[in-house]
Amino acid sequence: MTASAPPYELVIGLEVHVELATRSKMFCGCAARWFGAPPNTLTCPVCLGLPGALPVPNRRAIELSIQAGIALRCDTPPHTKFDRKNYMYPDLPKGYQISQFDLPLSVKGWLDVPGDGGGDKRVGIRRAHLEEDTARMVHGSEGGEQYSLLDFNRSGVPLLEIVSEPDLRSSAEALAYLERLREILVYAGVSEFRLEEGGGRFDTNVSIRFSEDGETRWPPQSEIKNLNSYRALEDAVPYEADRLWREWQAGGALRTRRGKITVGWSESRRATFLQRSKEEIEDYRYFPEPDLVALEPSVETVAALRAALPEMPADRRDRFARQYGLSAYDARILVADRAIADWYEAAVAAAPSRPKQVANWVTGELLRHLKERSVDLRDLTVRPSQLGTLVELVASGEISGKTAKDVLTRMWESGADPAEIVRARGLGQLSDEASLASAVDAVLAENPKAVADYVAGNQRALGALVGKVQSKLGGRANPAVVNRMLLEKVA
């Protein structure tokens, strides 16, 4: 981070590729979850690109792609198709990738992300198209010899490419965009967005805009290919922007450049390196995939897919704040995980007038329990309605907040109902004066000095007396009632 603002405006557009959450690959029945599988065990003639093998499109992948588009407020054109994108590379056994060229599944959407200016910023989504992932290359060396190995497990995994407009103005905005995109795709069940398992990568387009001699200059962008972590983006973007600026000032090729270049990012050298300049950028000779028919999602299909989408996270956060009176912070924590948000709402259903208290228990005790015990929410013994009941027991004064925590500890262990635990263990709070009177009287008799201190104006002495009543009754006394009784008797 530089302290002073750079002398140019940064312009960023992202092409995000994510693997879809399907069981099988895009055009064959091989398993799509390749991460961790022994190399070349998830293959068949189709995804190995053997001659004569024919693709059969994965319906689920198409549905998920359409849903992703809808969630990103895109239009779903009535007529789309697959195309062949031709290039030669060892990770592409057919010599072409099946992708979508001029008629993608989704066009013209948008996404609101927290912008640098404070408020939300609307980022345009140019298009989202469906394609297949390539094989994985593993490079190494042995005895001075370099080698490359190919693992075809990833070959043919459904891949969605989401192309933004160049609306982002900083790495922070680009990261916020990725974060919001991830959230939406995960929420919609479209992708698990497992970057750490190689399930996604982004081509990051960077250009700089500035004025010189009274004119606006906006030389062509660099496309940083295949970044695979937020961290890499955070490092590569400012590096490339600065490099473009320095090149411009040094009178370099950027001044005469006619089109974009593609660069790679070297993690070890912490620098970009040139891959292809405009002149060398391939002509992919796209043409319609002759082995597949055109794809024409019906209005009914699109409507059904739209109806099947869950409420999106930003909408849900707004609703949580509105409907339950939660802080933006609580809404964010709860909504961050769809299953937690569902669990919370089920708990509120059992304590409808206490949404705030339920939120406190969920964001506090529940999340801590899940984290500390590495428990999956699905394996939890406690049902949401039981937490709702527990909250009601506290609200009605039946048990204290402190007792409730003990009860919850037992609930985690046994899955028993809170009321049942309170009854079986005699944990109910003592609120009626008759059951508190003898302890209150005894404490007053045993502590004349504290009583005198209080009468002399020492407020703290009263608290001490309440504490002594509590210790006589094992902490079960209702403190408000004890307080009131003490005041009445001392006065």
Residue numbers at the binding site for ligand ADP (CB under 6 A)? 11-15, 163-166, 205-207, 221, 260
Q: Is 296 left (phi over 0), alpha (psi -120 to 50) or beta?
A: beta
Q: Which of 378, 402, 407 is nearest to 390 (CA)?
A: 407
User: What is the Cα–Cα distance from 379 to 384, expressed in whole angstroms?
Assistant: 12
> Does residue 166 interact with Mg ion by CB under 5 A?
no
> Does residue 157 interact with Zn ion by CB under 5 A?
no
Closer to ligand ADP by Cβ: residue 65 or 204: 204
SS3 label, residue 164: strand
Instruction: State the Cα angle at 434 between 433 and 439, rounded to 5°.
Output: 85
Give first-to-last CA distance, the chain, whole Å. Answer: 65
User: What is the Cα–Cα distance from 396 to 473, expressed in whole angstroms?
Assistant: 20
> Does residue 31 interact with Zn ion by CB under 5 A?
no
Out of Zn ion, Mg ion, ligand ADP, none, which partner does residue 204 contact, by CB within 5 to 8 A per kind?
Answer: none
> Does residue 281 interact with Mg ion by CB under 5 A?
no
Q: Which two tokens stand for residue 2?
A: 């530089």
Closer to Mg ion by Cβ: residue 217 or 225: 225
- In a 13 Å sphere around the CA of 429, the CA atoms on its Cβ side amount to 20
| Minimum distance of ligand ADP from residue 240's CB (angstroms) | 11
Out of Mg ion, ligand ADP, Zn ion, none, which partner does residue 30 contact, by CB within 5 to 8 A per kind?
Answer: Zn ion
> Does residue 53 interact with Zn ion by CB under 5 A?
no
Closer to Zn ion by Cβ: residue 41 or 327: 41
Amino acid at the residue 397: G
Which span sits near Mg ion by CB under 5 A: 10-18, 271-279, 359-367, 462-470?
10-18
| Minimum distance of Zn ion from residue 136's CB (angstroms) | 14
Amino acid at the residue 232: A
> Does residue 226 interact with Mg ion by CB under 5 A?
no
> Does residue 15 interact with Mg ion by CB under 5 A?
yes
SS3 label, residue 256: coil
Which span sits near Mg ion by CB under 5 A: 11-19, 192-200, 229-237, 286-294?
11-19
Out of Mg ion, Zn ion, ligand ADP, none, which partner does residue 166 contact, by CB within 5 to 8 A per kind?
Answer: ligand ADP
Q: Where do the H-state alpha helices sit in 14-120?
A: 59-71
Out of Zn ion, ligand ADP, Mg ion, none, which partner does residue 331 contact, by CB within 5 to 8 A per kind?
Answer: none
Could you tell me how many residues of this chain bind Mg ion (CB under 5 A)? 1
Residue 323 host element (H or E) = helix 313-324
Query: Scanning the structure block, which residue is given the tokens 């450049």?
Result: 257
Out of Mg ion, Zn ion, ligand ADP, none, which partner does residue 451 contact, by CB within 5 to 8 A per kind?
Answer: none
Out of Zn ion, ligand ADP, Mg ion, none, which partner does residue 165 contact, by CB within 5 to 8 A per kind?
Answer: ligand ADP
Closer to Mg ion by Cβ: residue 100 or 357: 100
Closer to Mg ion by Cβ: residue 25 or 85: 85
| Minimum distance of Mg ion from residue 130's CB (angstroms) | 13
Query: Scanning the structure block, which residue is given the tokens 């009321």?
Result: 419
Residues 6+ apart with CB under 8 A from 220: 207, 257, 258, 259, 260, 261, 278
Closer to ligand ADP by Cβ: residue 165 or 420: 165
Query: Scanning the structure block, which residue is given the tokens 């070959």?
Result: 155
Q: Which of 209, 198, 240 is nearest to 223 (CA)?
A: 240
Among 9, 39, 44, 242, binds Zn ion (CB under 5 A): 44
| Minimum distance of Zn ion from residue 55's CB (angstroms) | 10
User: What is the Cα–Cα distance from 6 to 239, expressed in whole angstroms?
Assistant: 12
| Minimum distance of ligand ADP from residue 11's CB (angstroms) | 4
Q: Which two tokens stand for residue 296?
A: 């024409």
Which span sits near Mg ion by CB under 5 A: 13-21, 31-39, 86-94, 385-393?
13-21
Q: Where do the H-state alpha helices sit in 143-256?
A: 171-187, 230-249
| Minimum distance of ligand ADP from residue 264's CB (angstroms) | 16
| Minimum distance of Zn ion from residue 155's CB (angstroms) | 8
User: What is the Cα–Cα distance from 468 to 462, expressed in whole angstroms?
Assistant: 10
Q: Which of 390, 379, 388, 304 is nearest to 349 (CA)?
A: 388
By beta-carbon distance, which residue lies closest to Mg ion? 15
> Does residue 98 interact with Zn ion by CB under 5 A?
no
SS3 label, residue 276: strand
| Minimum distance of ligand ADP from residue 222's CB (angstroms) | 8
Q: Which residues bind Mg ion (CB under 5 A)?
A: 15
Contact footprint for Zn ion (CB under 5 A): 28, 30, 44, 46-47
